[in-house]
């Protein structure tokens, strides 16, 4: 290997030991008699000290050729030093240039000059060399681990469903068509139909973390045409409260996991993660509407983005950053949501809102074949196109429910970032297909 140690694996008490470190040239400082290279690797920074009289001609010559962001491997001796930030520096015996970077760089890496979002995304590989950007993706990784740990501790099975399918679950307008041999298919908007079909199998608690595609022409800071959906579905629920219990615990436990394990990255970002107060309030749609109307707003049959924001403010004043809105008018919710027969016109749909924005949607599903078919018809969908799905409801389908949660929205909101593009490596939107 071209390195024996990452920067964080070296300490002052290793004084005198020989190590090989590798990374990018972050800074070059030349004071004549003594020169410095600040080397950056995945874990941090290392100071390489080059006193003219104590290093070889080769080392001095190589220093003269170096450009910022070049890739080097440095072998040398660890020297304890009170002047160096890390408490040690490295006196090089050999500097090997592995790859020389061109100048000028397409963007600043030090974080001192702020670049436009487009410039950053066009040069994402360099953008990711910035501490704050790297921190976001290290934290994102922890969010994934946190979710997986929690779901597995609760006996959920991780699944992967197809992303190319014949029918869309969430309505036709936002489908991306793909040429599939001699017919048309679509990129899936969510794993909805597949995770539900599995409720009729022996895998009666499942979750998936995977891509979802929506042809969203809207230009917002929280929509992308490809996002990561975290979905779960669970059978044998008593009612939608079981689904809310699971979603609530998942969010709280995941946030706790990231807060505990992501300290160094959160420090770099200068962020703390707030753990939402439990239990999350469960507010019926009509009550939410009432709260908003007594606040002077006029609310329709669904909550607009502005309504959600306003409700977020009201709830924050009561000390709640996360809460459920339940019992939406059935008309506004997809065919697979169960209607509430005791309260006609309403459904067992739930949304989870977080900092005044929708984070997840779900509820109890309609598991009774005849009712499901009539709901489809009510929504002007042709049951013939859904035969593969409906079949699973004919031979033993238990009551079930679940949610679909926007994973990037969760990361973005938890870290108080303003744009969903901050938490996606190579975002896809109406205007962006490369890189």
Which positions lie near ligand ATP, rule CB under 6 A?
A: 170, 214, 216, 223-224, 227, 229, 358-361, 404-406, 408-409
Contacts with Mg ion by CB under 5 A: the residue count is: 1
- Integer Cα distance of 377 and 228 in angstroms: 30
365 is a catalytic site residue: no
428 is a catalytic site residue: no
Beta bridge partners of 329: 346
Least Å distance, CB 351 to ligand ATP, is 7
54 is a catalytic site residue: no
358 is a catalytic site residue: yes
Q: Interface with Mg ion includes 47 (CB under 5 A)?
A: no
Q: Tell me the CA distances in angstroms from 11 to 17, 86, 94, 117, one per residue in order.
A: 10, 8, 20, 37
Q: Which does 227 bind (CB under 5 to 8 A by kind): Mg ion, ligand ATP, none?
A: ligand ATP
Least Å distance, CB 289 to ligand ATP, is 17
Q: Which of the following is catalytic: 96, 170, 216, 357?
A: 216
347 is a catalytic site residue: no
Q: Which is nearer to ligand ATP, 214 or 320 (CB)?
A: 214
Q: Interface with Mg ion includes 190 (CB under 5 A)?
A: no
Q: Which is nearer to Mg ion, 47 or 361 (CB)?
A: 361
198 backbone dihedrals φ, ψ, rounded to 5°: -70, -15
Q: Which of the following is catalytic: 214, 271, 367, 400?
A: 214
Q: Interface with Mg ion includes 361 (CB under 5 A)?
A: yes
Bin 16: left if φ > 0, else alpha if -120 < ψ < 50, else beta. Answer: left
Q: CA angle 158-145-161, nearest 5°?
A: 25
Q: Which is nearer to ligand ATP, 9 or 160 (CB)?
A: 160
Q: Going by DSSP bridges, is the β-strand pair 226-235/400-406 parallel, antiparallel, or unpaired?
A: antiparallel
Residue 13: how many other CB atoms lie within 10 Å: 11
57 is a catalytic site residue: no
Q: Which of the following is catalytic: 361, 366, 367, 421?
A: 361
344 backbone dihedrals φ, ψ, rounded to 5°: -55, 140
Q: Which of the following is catalytic: 3, 223, 297, 432?
A: 223
Map residue 206 onto helix, strand or coil.
Answer: strand
Report the candidate in 204, 123, 158 with the shortest Cα–Cα distance to residue 425: 123
61 is a catalytic site residue: no
User: Catalytic residue numbers?
Assistant: 214, 216, 222-223, 358, 361, 409
């Amino acid at each position: 290997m071209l390195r024996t140690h990452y920067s964080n694996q070296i300490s002052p008490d290793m004084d005198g030991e020989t190590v090989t470190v590798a990374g990018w040239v972050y800074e070059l400082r030349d004071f004549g008699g003594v020169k410095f290279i600040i080397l950056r690797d995945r874990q941090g920074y290392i100071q390489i000290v080059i006193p003219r009289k104590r290093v070889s001609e080769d080392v001095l010559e190589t220093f003269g050729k170096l450009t910022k962001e070049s890739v080097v491997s440095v072998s040398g001796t660890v020297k304890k030093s009170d002047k160096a930030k890390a408490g040690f520096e490295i006196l090089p015996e050999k500097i090997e240039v592995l790859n020389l970077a061109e100048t000028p760089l397409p963007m600043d890496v030090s974080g001192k000059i702020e670049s436009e979002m487009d410039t950053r995304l066009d040069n994402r590989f360099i953008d990711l060399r910035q501490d704050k950007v790297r921190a976001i993706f290290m934290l994102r990784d922890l969010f994934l681990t946190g979710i997986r740990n929690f779901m597995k501790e609760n006996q959920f099975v991780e699944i992967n469903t197809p992303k190319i399918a014949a029918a869309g679950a969430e309505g036709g307008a936002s489908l991306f068509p793909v040429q599939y041999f001699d017919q048309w298919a679509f990129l899936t908007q969510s794993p909805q139909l597949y995770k539900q079909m599995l409720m009729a199998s022996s895998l009666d608690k499942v979750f998936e973390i995977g891509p979802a595609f929506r042809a969203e022409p809207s230009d917002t800071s929280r929509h992308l045409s490809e996002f990561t959906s975290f979905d779960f579905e669970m059978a044998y629920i008593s009612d939608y409260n079981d689904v809310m219990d699971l979603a609530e615990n998942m969010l709280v436990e995941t946030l706790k996991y990231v807060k505990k394990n992501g300290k160094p990255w959160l420090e770099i970002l200068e962020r703390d993660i707030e753990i939402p107060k439990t239990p999350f309030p469960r507010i019926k749609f009509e009550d939410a509407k009432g709260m908003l109307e007594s606040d002077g707003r006029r609310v329709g049959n669904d909550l607009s983005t502005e309504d959600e924001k306003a409700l977020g403010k009201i709830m924050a004043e009561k000390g709640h950053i996360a809460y459920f809105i339940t019992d939406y008018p059935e008309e506004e919710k997809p065919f697979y949501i169960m209607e509430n027969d005791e309260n006609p016109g309403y459904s067992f749909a739930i949304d989870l809102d977080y900092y005044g924005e929708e984070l997840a949607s779900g509820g109890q599903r309609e598991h009774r074949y005849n009712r499901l078919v009539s709901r489809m018809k009510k929504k002007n969908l042709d049951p013939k196109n859904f035969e593969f799905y409906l079949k699973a409801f004919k031979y033993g389908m238990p009551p079930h429910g679940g949610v679909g949660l926007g994973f990037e929205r969760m990361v973005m909101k938890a870290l108080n970032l303003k744009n969903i593009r901050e938490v996606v490596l190579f975002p896809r939107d109406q205007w962006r297909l490369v890189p």
